[in-house]
A and B are shown apart, each in its own frame.
Chain A
Amino acid sequence: MEEVADVSLILSPQLLAAALVLAAFYALIAIGLNLVYGAMRLLNVAHGELVMLGGYIAYWGFARWGISPLISAVFAVAAGALLGVLLYATIIRRLFRSTRMLARVEANSLLVFFGVSVVIQNVMAVAFTADQRGFSYMDGVLTIGSVRIEENRLLALAIATVACVACALFFRYARSGMAMRAIIQQREAAALVGIDVDRINIQVFALGFGLAALAGTLVSMTAQISPFMGFPFTVSAFVIIILGGLGNLLGSILGALMLAAVEVYGAALISPSFRSILVYGVFIAALLLRPQGLLGRSIAAR
Chain B
Amino acid sequence: MRLALAFAAALFAAGATPAAAAPPVKIGYAISMTGPFAPAARTQLNAYRLWADQLAAQGGLDVGGVKRPVKFIVYDDQSDFAKAPQLYEKLITDDKVDLLLAPWGTPFHFAIVGVLEKYQFPVVGNSAASVTIRDIKPGNIWFTTSEIPDRMAAELVKFMKKENVKTVAVNTLQLPFSLEVKKFLMPDMASAGLKVVVNDDYAPDVKDMTATLTKIKAAAPDAVLSLSYPPDSIIFIKEARQLDIKSPFQLVLVGPTDYLFTKMFGANLDGIVTMGHWVPNQPKWPKAKAFYNAYMKKYGEPPDYLDSALAWMSIEVLQQAVKTAGLDKAKIRHAISTETFDTIDGPVKFKGVENVITPTMFLQFQKGRPQIVWPGSDATARFEPKPEWTK
- The interface of chain A, by Cβ under 8 A from chain B, is 2, 5, 8-9, 12, 14-15, 17-19, 21-22, 121-122, 125-126, 129-136, 140-141, 148-150, 153, 222-224, 226-228, 232, 263-265, 267-268, 271-273, 275-276
Distance of A92 from chain B, by nearest CB (Å): 27
- Alpha-carbon distance A232/B390, docked complex (angstroms): 31
CB-contact partner of B260 in A17, A21, A134, A150, under 8 A: A134
Pairwise interchain contact B34-A125, C-beta atoms closer than 8 A: yes
| A–B pairs, 24, beta carbons within 8 Å | A8-B218, A9-B215, A14-B210, A14-B243, A15-B210, A122-B34, A125-B38, A126-B34, A131-B42, A131-B260, A132-B231, A134-B263, A135-B263, A136-B265, A141-B241, A141-B242, A150-B238, A150-B241, A232-B207, A264-B208, A272-B201, A272-B203, A272-B209, A275-B205
Once the chains are docked, how many angstroms separate the CA of A252 from the CA of B368?
Answer: 43
**Minimum CB distance partner of B217 in chain A:** A14
Which residues on the B side are within 8 Å of A125 (C-beta)?
33-35, 38
Q: Tell me the complex Cα distance, A275–B232, Å.
A: 14
How far in angstroms is the closest Cβ of chain B from A157? Answer: 13
B206–A275 CB distance below 8 A: yes
Nearest opposing residue in chain B for A226, CB measure: B39
For B264, the chain A residues whose CB sits under 8 A away are 134-136, 224
Interface residues of B in 261-280 (CB under 8 A from A): 263-266
Bound CA–CA A133/B234 (angstroms): 11
Residues of chain A contacted by B235 (CB below 8 angstroms): 223
> B115-139 toward A: CB 8 Å interface, digit per residue (1/0)?
0000000000000000000000000
The residue in chain A whose Cβ has the minimal distance to the Cβ of B202 is: A272
Contacts of B265 in A (CB 8 A): 136
The residues in B between 229 and 266 inclusive whose CB is less than 8 angstroms from any CB of A are 230-231, 234-235, 238, 241-244, 258, 260, 263-266
Cβ of B95 within 8 Å of any chain A Cβ, yes or no, is no
> Which residue from A12, A223, A271 sits with its C-beta under 8 Å from B234?
A223
B34, B208, B215, B266: which contacts A263 (Cβ < 8 A)?
B208
A133-B260, A141-B241 known; A273+B34 contact, CB < 8 A: no
By a CB distance below 8 angstroms, the chain A residues around B2 are none
Residue-wise, chain B 188-216 has the 8 Å CB interface mask toward A (1 for contact) of 00000000001011110111111110110
Residues of B within 8 A of A149 (CB): 242
B residues less than 8 Å from A232 (CB atoms) = 205, 207
A155 vs chain B, min Cβ distance (A): 14
Q: Are B206 and A9 in contact (CB-based, < 8 A)?
A: no
Q: A residues within 8 A CB of B242?
A: 141, 148-150, 153
Cβ contact within 8 Å between A224 and B260 = yes
B162 interface contact, C-beta 8 A: no
Taking CB atoms, residues of chain A closer than 8 Å to B207 are 22, 223, 232, 263
**Would you give the shortest CB distance from B304 to chain A, in whole angstroms?**
11
Contact yes or no, A18 B39, CB < 8 A:
no
CB of B174 within 8 A of CB of A14, answer no
Query: Is the CB of B36 closer than 8 A to any CB of chain A?
Result: yes
Give the CA-CA distance A92 to B205 in the complex, in Å. 32
A132: chain B residues at CB < 8 Å are 39, 230-231, 258, 260
The answer to whether B205 touches A141, judged by C-beta atoms less than 8 angstroms apart, is no
Per CB-CB distance, the 5 closest pairs between chain A and chain B, nearest first, are A130-B38, A268-B211, A272-B202, A18-B210, A267-B211
- A270, B203: Cα distance in complex, Å: 13
Residues in B whose Cβ lies below 8 Å from that of A122: 34-35
**Chain B residues near A2 (CB, 8 Å)?**
198, 215
A130 partner, pick from B34, B200, B202, B205, beta carbons under 8 A: B34
Known: A9-B215, A132-B231, A134-B260. A276 touches B39 (CB 8 A): no
Q: Which residues of B contact A148 (CB under 8 A)?
A: 242-244
A residues less than 8 Å from B208 (CB atoms): 18-19, 21-22, 263-264, 267
Known: A15-B214, A126-B33, A224-B230. A141 touches B39 (CB 8 A): no
CA distance A69 to B205 in the complex (A): 25
- In the assembled complex, which residues on chain B have CB atoms less than 8 Å from the CB atom of A264? 208, 210-211
Task: Give Cα A10–Cα B233 distance, bound, in whole angstroms.
Answer: 24
Q: Out of B42, B211, B389, which one reaches A272, CB within 8 Å?
A: B211
- A65–B71 Cα distance when bound, in Å, is 39
Given A136-B263, A268-B214, A272-B201, 7 additional A-B pairs, CB 8 A: A132-B39, A227-B38, A228-B39, A232-B205, A267-B200, A271-B200, A271-B201
B259 to A, closest residue via Cβ: A131
By the criterion CB–CB under 8 Å, are A272 and B238 in contact? no
> Contact at B211–A15, with CB atoms within 8 Å?
yes
Given the interface contacts A150-B238, A224-B231, does A272 sit within 8 Å of B212 by beta carbon? yes
How far, in angstroms, from A130 to B200 measured CA to CA in the complex?
30
Query: Closest B-chain residue to A219, C-beta based?
Result: B207
Q: Flag if A224 contacts B211 (CB, 8 Å).
A: no
List, in ascending order, chain A residues with CB within 8 A of B209's CB. 267, 272
Q: Which residues in A have their C-beta under 8 angstroms from that of B211?
A: 9, 15, 18, 264-265, 267-268, 272
**CB-CB contacts below 8 Å: B71-90 with A:** none
| Most B CB within 10 A of own CB, among A121, A153, A226, A265 | A226
With a CB–CB cut-off of 8 A, which chain B residues contact A222? 238
A151 to B213 CA separation, bound complex (whole angstroms): 19
Across-interface contacts of A8 in B (CB, < 8 A): 218
Q: Is the CB–CB distance between B200 and A141 below 8 Å?
A: no
Chain B residues with CB under 8 A of A121? 34
Please state if A136 and B266 are interface contacts (CB–CB under 8 Å): yes
